[in-house]
């Protein structure tokens, strides 16, 4: 198994990364974020359609519900979630990620995500 980065550099926002802050929406009993995740270290990374590196076991945003909190906050399909409220998400199981995102005590989640498009943009800007 690949030992992946356990932790992002503290607070370091790397190029191609950005923060997204989502305020959960109360739906009946539940607080929802309005997106779905795939991936995790216990999942088969090769089936992840969003990753460039097919061994990447990170957590990816697979769907974003229209008009939901996540969309409002700017989260996009294919974003790779690096951190949730400062917790590393690059080395977690699917379920751990889910739990981390759905803590009832937290009404706001702050994500650090990488986005392919962002990276490309950065790249290009560097090259130009």
Cα–Cα distances (Å) from 95 to 16, 38, 79, in that order, read: 26, 10, 18
| Dist CA 77 CA 28 (whole Å) | 25
Nearer to other proteins, 67 or 72 (CB): 72
Shortest reach from residue 66's CB to other proteins, in Å:
13
Closest CA to 45 of 35, 32, 58, 34: 58
Nearer to other proteins, 55 or 67 (CB): 55
The secondary structure of residue 79, as a DSSP letter, is P
Shortest reach from residue 53's CB to other proteins, in Å:
8
- Residue 110 has a CB neighbour count (10 Å cut-off) of 14
Shortest reach from residue 77's CB to other proteins, in Å:
12
Shortest reach from residue 79's CB to other proteins, in Å:
12
Contacts with 19 (C-beta within 8 Å, 6 or more apart), sequence order: 13, 110, 111, 112, 113
């Amino acid at each position: 198994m690949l030992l992946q980065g356990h932790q992002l550099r503290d607070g370091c926002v790397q190029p191609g990364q950005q923060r997204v802050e989502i305020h959960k929406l109360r739906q009946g009993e539940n607080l929802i974020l309005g997106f779905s995740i795939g991936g995790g270290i216990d999942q088969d990374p090769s089936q992840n359609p969003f990753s460039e590196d097919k061994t990447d076991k990170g957590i990816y945003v697979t769907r974003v519900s229209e008009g939901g909190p996540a969309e409002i906050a700017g989260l996009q399909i294919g974003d790779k979630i690096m951190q949730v409220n400062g917790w590393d998400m690059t080395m977690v199981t699917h379920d751990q990620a889910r739990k981390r995102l759905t803590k009832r005590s937290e009404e706001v989640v702050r994500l650090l995500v990488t986005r392919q498009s962002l990276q490309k943009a950065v790249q290009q800007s560097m090259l130009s």
